[in-house]
Structure formats: C-alpha cells, structure tokens
Amino acid sequence: MSIKKIPESTISRLFVYLRELSELSKLNIRTISSSELGERVNLNDAQVRKDLGYFGQFGISGSGYDINELKAALEKILGKDKTWNVAVIGAGHLGSALITYPGFQQHGLNVVTAFDADVKKIGKRFGGITIQPAGELPKAVKEKKIAIGIIAVPAKDAQEVANSLVKSGVECILNFAPTVLSVPENVKVNNVDLSRALETFSYFLVNPALSGRVNKAVSGKK
C-alpha cells in the first residue's frame, strides 16, 4: 500500500464493486476474478485490480478474490459497517420527503433531527421527527453527534445554512439547493440537483449529433 493519491472515481467504483459482491454473495458464489467482476460492472480488469490495490492486497494469484472476504474489506473501507446521524434542514416539500425517505436507513444513515426557520413549521412531525427551530442547530449537532447535514432550503438561504453547519462542526453536506456553496477545504459537499437527472434527457436527445463527441461515462456513476 503506497502513499499514492486515490482518485475519487475509484471510491465511486468501490461502491459499485461492493453492490455487485453483495449480489454474488447471496447467490452463494465463493470467488471471482478481477476480469469477471470487471465484466459484470463494465470495467477493465486492470481497473478493478488497481482500484483495490490502493487499499491493500485482497486477491490470490491463480484463483482471484474471495467474495465474502472482499465484501467485508470494502464495507470496512467504505464505512458501511458504521451508521451516521443526519440532520435535515428545511422542512418544505422536499425536506419532509427526505426526512422519511426509506432509502437512507438502508445505507446506515439515520435522520435524527430536522430544522426549519419558519415558525409555522416548527413542531410539525414527520415519521417520528419533530421540526426544531433553526437556532437549535448548533446545539443539536453537538448533542446528537450529527455527521451529515442535508440542505433542503431555497437556494437563497442555502449558503447561510451551510455556514451554520460548518460552524457547528459538520464536515459533510448534501446540498439539494441548486446553488454552489462555498465552504472550507476540509468540508465535503455533494450537490444533488434533482433536475440534473433529467438533463441527459434534454442534452443528449436534443443534440444526438454531438453526443458522439462526448466521452463515454467511465464508471457506474454519473
């Protein structure tokens, strides 16, 4: 294990491998080679090996990787064996949908608290979570050990919320507001623009001639 930089795309692919390994594990398959795994997720075999190589040596020459072993290793690397507390800020339509979104639980993410600046929203309940006044955020982050903040407020308020989260010590922000947040270097922001998912519909369908000029997506991701 060298001290080389790890591409973020490698991390994305690790999640893809993990998902595939989980499937394989259910089917009671014991081992898999990098080329078989690569084929299943549309990637080069060398890519698979190189990605894993950033984190150690998991394979056996001549026979490949033990599926359950590799799965466990990836879960550890990716933090899938842990759970995290999440706060949702903004209890409008989107925010309240996120509070009760069942998918988070499956990924070890527990929404433990939610906030809104609007007095009319405070006290409302969504699936066991009661909306708190926005001013309570810093205290709650510390008391409830919030690791991730989800911003679901209008774009114009997003930066202010981000500042508050950062000041309270949150280092991971998922931003649903369609705006660019500026945060310190140590804070990681993921932007989700729900309309982004529809963008490919408009760009690629409207410009079929140009789409041939666009480099294909590489990993399972975006």
Partner DNA sequence: GTATATTTGTGAAAAATTGCACAAAGTCTG
Partner DNA sequence: CAGACTTTGTGCAATTTTTCACAAATATAC
| Contact pick of 50, 80, 124, 144 for its own copies (by CB under 8 A) | 80
Distance from the Cα of residue 55 to its chain's centroid? 20
Nearest CA to 150 out of 179, 170, 121, 125 is that of 170
Q: Which span sits near DNA by CB under 7 A: 14-22, 61-69, 106-114, 129-137? A: 61-69
User: Ramachandran region of residue 7, left (φ > 0), alpha (ψ -120 to 50) or beta?
Assistant: beta
Residue closer to its own copies by CB (options 68, 85) is 85
CA–CA gap between residue 121 and residue 107 (Å, rounded): 28
- Restricted to residues 1-30, the positions that interact with DNA (CB under 7 A) are 2, 5, 7-10
Kindly determine how many residues on this chain lie close enough to bind DNA according to the rule CB under 7 A: 31
The answer to whether 164 touches 138, Cβ cutoff 8 Å, is: yes
Residue closer to its own copies by CB (options 60, 97) is 97
Binding mask 28-47 for DNA (x = CB under 7 A): ----xxxx-------xxxxx
Q: How far is the CB of 95 from its own copies (least distance, A)?
A: 8
